[in-house]
Amino acid sequence: MAEVLKQARRIVVKVGSSLVTNEGRGVDADAIGNWCRQLAALAGQRRELVMVSSGAIAEGMQRLGWRTRPKELHEQQAAAAVGQMGLVQMYETKLREHGLRSAQVLLTHADLADRERYLNARSTLLTLLSLGVIPVINENDTVVNEEIKFGDNDTLGALVANLVEADALVILTDQRGLYSADPRKDPQARFIDEAEAGDPALELMAGGAGSAIGRGGMLTKVLAAKRAAGSGASTVIAWGREPDVLLRLAAGEAIGSALVASTPKLAARKQWMVDHLQLRGAVVVDAGAEQKLRGEGKSLLPIGVVEVQGDFRRGDVIAVRGLAGGELARGLANYSSAETRLIARKPSTQIEAALGYVNEPELIHRTNLVLGPQEVD
């Protein structure tokens, strides 16, 4: 596992409320500054980094003088609105001290459940990463309701790891890692230094209660690791105040509990697309496009499309078929079927003229395309 993290190029780091706000006392400038210093060092190693930070509600509680987390949703939303100001300002200030640019991204479950909004969020985050900007992500607590809340930012961290196809998820918490039982109650509790993510035994070991400040307990972290493993990302759960924890993990040092994904990232993503039994539609491509896909591993451009079949939306998994009718590939469509019909047979430079806007120059980007079950190994 140490080697997996050492080789990770894209890393999602999640920090909990109790760490960010020093157990609810307010945004901890020293702690955030310390993590940002480490992020800057990792960025200097040409790694791509995403920060998922709790703390908006906790910071808002401190500013409003509330000692316990409110139960009413509208009060939580108000606290989040107040606290988000201080939280984002602190990250922006500390990252700027190291010459890094940052961006605030607020997400709800609906953003990731809807395929079109999922693809929009993914495109935005990948663009930010390509520009060398560090996204600071939090749940959009000011607008969500109970039906669409993630419930904890451990889950959000895992979903973001899936979204950006991260190599690793690091969950920084106020505990050393995962134990076989609650070490506060059982002196015989055994520390779990490494296990396979998704092992049912881990869920039995983890406790379910979080702190008075945050909502996540160790169980949410174990479940987050399981979710992240679905896209091939391994997870480390570690103490957030461990000296240079991120740098040492990235150097290959074994710190905390490593929950390893059993399926490599690329194979996991390909299998996910291959397993889509109900496709929304398809496009038929010419011989030139087929050669670009099969022979050169290129993206599918609109100019190669000769026919559009079915009714699909941006973000749906669609089939790519050759002139003979057989399925060549499948992938995530950057345009709806209606849009694709307008840009088919046109070069990418004419997309804006045809639609009035450009989502992407490709109909299906090569990272969102798999050339059939034979590629999955």
Which residue type sits at 24?
G
Percentage of residues in the chain having pLDDT higher than 90: 57
Residues 134 and 209 grouped into a single domain: yes
Residues 327 and 197 grouped into a single domain: no
pLDDT digits (tens, 9 = 90+) for 75-112: 988 988 999 999 999 999 999 999 999 999 998 877 87
Residues 81 and 198 grouped into a single domain: yes
Pick from 109-113, 116-120, 205-209, 293-297 the range whose average pLDDT is largest. Answer: 293-297
Mean pLDDT estimate for the chain: 87
Q: Which of 263, 278, 304 is the last residue of a domain?
A: 263
Residues 150 and 281 grouped into a single domain: no
Contact 17, 57 (CB under 8 A): yes
Report the pLDDT averaged over residues 307-325. 94
Report the pLDDT averaged over residues 344-356. 97
* Region class of 109: left (phi > 0), else alpha (psi between -120 and 50), else beta: alpha
Name the strands in the sheet holding 317-321, side by side, starting at the edge strand that comes first in the sequence.
Answer: 305-310, 281-285, 317-321, 327-332, 369-370
Residues 200, 216: Cα–Cα separation, whole Å: 19
Q: Quote the tokens at residue 365.
A: 């980007």
pLDDT reported for residue 187: 85
**Rounded to a whole number, what is the distance in angstroms from the first to the last CA of the chain?**
21
pLDDT category, 3, cuts 50, 70, 90?
low
Look at residue 373 and tell me whether its pLDDT is greater than 70. Answer: no
Residues 109 and 44 grouped into a single domain: yes
Look at residue 233 and tell me whether its pLDDT is greater than 70. Answer: yes
Q: Which of 209, 241, 263 is the last residue of a domain?
A: 263
Which CATH number goes with the domain that contains 284? Answer: 2.30.130.10
Pick from 151-165, 222-236, 361-375 the range whose average pLDDT is largest. Answer: 222-236
Q: How many domains does the chain have?
A: 2
Which CATH number goes with the domain that contains 92? Answer: 3.40.1160.10
3-state secondary structure of 117: helix
Pick from 120-124, 321-325, 340-344 the range whose average pLDDT is largest. Answer: 340-344
Residues 226 and 308 grouped into a single domain: no
pLDDT category, 334, cuts 50, 70, 90?
very high
In the chain, DSSP assigns E strands to 10-15, 48-53, 101-107, 133-139, 168-173, 178-179, 191-192, 194-196, 234-239, 257-260, 281-285, 305-310, 317-321, 327-332, 369-370
pLDDT reported for residue 252: 94
Residues 172, 184: Cα–Cα separation, whole Å: 19
Residues 222 and 150 grouped into a single domain: yes
pLDDT reported for residue 268: 64
pLDDT category, 374, cuts 50, 70, 90?
very low
pLDDT reported for residue 212: 41
Q: Which of 236, 263, 290 is the last residue of a domain?
A: 263
pLDDT reported for residue 347: 97
Residues 304 and 198 grouped into a single domain: no
Tracing tokens 């345009």 back to the chain, one arrives at: 335
Residues 210 and 291 grouped into a single domain: no
Report the pLDDT averaged over residues 268-276. 61
pLDDT digits (tens, 9 = 90+) for 4-22: 688 899 999 999 888 998 8
pLDDT category, 293, cuts 50, 70, 90?
very high
Q: What angle do CA 75, 80, 83 make, to 5 degrees?
A: 125
Residues 278 and 259 grouped into a single domain: no
Domain that holds residue 241: 2-263
